[in-house]
Amino acid sequence: MSPRTTGVLACTAAACLVLTAAPAIAAPAESAYAIAASGLVKIPRTPSVSGQGKESLASVALPTEGPSLVGAKALNAAVKPGHAESSVAGLALNLGLLPTGAALPGLSAEVIESECRNGKGSVSIANLKVGGKTIKLDQVAPNTTIPVASLLELTVNKQTKNADGTLTVTAVSAKLLGKTQTLDIASATCAKSADETPEPPTKPGDKPQPGGKAPKPTPVPAHLDVTG
């Protein structure tokens, strides 16, 4: 092969490299799923949406063979720029079916929802019951842990800041037998909008009152609707 031919091939290869190299495309920041489990029983994120989209399932029973570990009337996940949400309606968990050799209580709820909007998360839980006993929830702060049984721990309104700056809010995250089995219900992840207008540092109701009295508190909308 002559030097000239070699030079032509080299230039052609370089040109191909330039033409085929494409800028990296960032993965969608927003995602959502209704239910997922890992450990003794594995359930993939169901339904799961990443980027813009919406998915729903009705009358779900998992697994399908024999008695159902997880039952729900409806599972929903929806995502759009700056916003993600997921929900589970008519949830019933028969935790006693897990191959643990230990008795575990059942868990049910009318509705469990999570929402993430512009980097801020909120949850809504209606009529949550564990072992037939209603768990009263009111104004639950992020990452509230509720030990409901010796082998079962619930984290309600679980919020996690991710390395990429997004926020993940999971309405109910359960740990069974330590970390042998985990179960996440209604999870949503979103990023903070770049053009979001920052809130003013003070509001009219927060100004100091005459005589050095404490400022009048400004009402804040509740982020957790509860019945039960």
| pLDDT category of residue 100 using cuts at 50, 70 and 90 | low
The highest-confidence range among 79-83, 129-133, 198-202, by mean pLDDT, is 79-83
Q: Residue 203 — pLDDT band, cuts 50, 70, 90?
A: low
Q: For position 12, what pLDDT does the model report?
A: 35
Tens of pLDDT, residue by residue over 37-60, are 998 888 899 999 998 888 888 877
Comparing 100 with 120, which gets the higher pLDDT?
120
The pLDDT value recorded for residue 14 is 37
Residue 120's contacts (CB-CB under 8 Å, 6 or more residues apart) are 167, 192
pLDDT for 26 equals: 53
pLDDT value for 200 = 55
Instruction: Pick from 107-121, 144-158, 193-207 the range whose average pLDDT is largest.
Output: 107-121
For position 105, what pLDDT does the model report? Answer: 83
Q: What is the DSSP string of 51-111?
A: SSEEEEEEEEEES-SSS-SEEEEEEEEEEETTEEEEEEEEEEE-GGGSTTSS----EEEEE
pTM over 0.75: no
Is the pLDDT confidence value at 198 over 60? no
Which residues are CB-neighbours of 91 under 8 A, at least 6 positions away? Answer: 70, 71, 72, 107, 108, 109, 112, 185
Which range among 24-28, 49-53, 149-153, 157-161 shows the weakest confidence by mean pLDDT?
A: 24-28
Please give the mean pLDDT across all residues of the chain. 76
